[in-house]
Amino acid sequence: MGRDLSNTELATALTLTESTVKTRVARIFANLAFRDRAQAVVLAYETGLIAPGDLTAD
């Protein structure tokens, strides 16, 4: 999610169903009191999970 992947892309990458990913994302948002994915991306940068340039296209 920190790399700006959609739920479908996350499901494919993690070999999960899209509904499972949607549930997990919703739970993450609830636990961290996030409103949207932008806040998750900010946290990923601030904690060092991703670095500038990690979001560039392959």
- Write out pLDDT tens, residues 21-38: 999 999 999 999 999 988
CB 55 within 8 A of CB 42: no
From CA 25, how far away is CA 51, in angstroms rounded?
21
From CA 52, how far away is CA 26, in angstroms rounded?
26
CB 34 within 8 A of CB 40: yes
Does the pLDDT of residue 58 top 70, yes or no? Answer: no
Does the pLDDT of residue 2 top 90, yes or no? Answer: no
pLDDT of 52 reads 81
The model carries a pTM of 0.74
Q: Which domains does the chain have, with CATH numbers?
A: 1-58 (1.10.10.10)
Confidence of residue 14 (pLDDT cuts 50, 70, 90): very high
Does the pLDDT of residue 57 top 70, yes or no? Answer: no
| Residue 48, number of CB atoms within 10 A of its CB | 7
